[in-house]
Structure 1
Amino acid sequence: MDTTTTSTATLSHSQALKAASHGTHERLDQRIMRAEPFAALANYGRFLQVQWRFHHDIAALYARADLALLLPDLAERQRLREIEQDLADLGLALPAPGAQAPALDPEHCPLAEALGWFYVAEGSNLGAALLFKATAALGLDEQRGARHLAGHPDGRLRHWRGFTGMLDAQPLRPAEQELMAGGARAAFTRVHRHVDELLA
Structure 2
Amino acid sequence: MTANIDINTRSKRLKGLTTETHDRLDKSIMAGDPFANVENYAKFLKVQYLFHRDIGALYAVPELDALLPDLEGRRRFDTVALDLNDVGADVPETDGAPRFIAGEAVDLPTALGWLYVAEGSNLGAAFLLKFAAKLGLDPTKGARHLAPADEGRGLHWRTFTAALDAIDLTAEDEARVTAGAEAAFSRVHGLVRRFFDGV
When residues 99 and 189 of structure 1 are mapped into structure 2, their CA distance, relative to the original with a 3 A threshold, is farther
Aligned partner of 2:155 among 149, 155, 158: 158
How high is the TM-score relative to the length of structure 2? 0.91
| 2:187 maps to 1:190 | yes
For the 8 Å contact 1:50–1:199, the answer to whether it is kept is: no
For the 8 Å contact 1:117–1:183, the answer to whether it is kept is: yes
Output one character per residue of 1:63-85: Cα deviation in whole Å (capped at 9) or x when no partner: 10001111241111000100000
Q: Distance in 1 between matches of 2:96 and 2:188?
A: 11
1:6 counterpart residue number: none
Q: Distance in 2 between matches of 1:142 and 1:154?
A: 15
For the 8 Å contact 1:142–1:149, the answer to whether it is kept is: yes
Aligned partner of 1:174 among 143, 165, 171: 171
For the 8 Å contact 1:128–1:149, the answer to whether it is kept is: yes
Q: Distance in 1 between matches of 2:97 and 2:14?
A: 23
| 2:91 maps to 1:94 | yes
The amino acid across from 2:12 in the alignment is Q
1:69 counterpart residue number: 66
How high is the TM-score relative to the length of structure 1? 0.91
Give the C-alpha shift of residue 100 in structure 1: 6.0
2:134 alignment partner, SS class:
helix
Unaligned segments of structure 2, at least 5 residues: 1-5
Give the C-alpha shift of residue 130 in structure 1: 0.3
Give the C-alpha shift of residue 199 in structure 1: 1.9
| 2:9 maps to 1:12 | yes
| 2:125 maps to 1:128 | yes
| 2:57 maps to 1:60 | yes
For the 8 Å contact 2:47–2:195, the answer to whether it is kept is: yes
| 2:82 maps to 1:85 | yes
> Aligned-pair RMSD on alpha carbons?
1.7
Aligned partner of 2:110 among 98, 106, 113: 113
Q: Distance in 2 between matches of 1:94 and 1:100?
A: 15
Q: Distance in 2 between matches of 1:59 and 1:195?
A: 19
Q: Distance in 2 between matches of 1:104 and 1:83?
A: 18
Q: Distance in 1 between matches of 2:168 and 2:174?
A: 10
2:3 counterpart residue number: none
Q: Distance in 2 between matches of 1:192 and 1:69?
A: 30
The amino acid across from 2:48 in the alignment is Q
Q: Distance in 2 between matches of 1:181 and 1:108?
A: 19
Flag as ranges the 4+ runs of structure 1 deviating above 6 A. Answer: none
| 2:42 maps to 1:45 | yes
Output one character per residue of 1:113-135: Cα deviation in whole Å (capped at 9) or x when no partner: 11001000000000000001111
Give the C-alpha shift of residue 32 in structure 1: 0.4
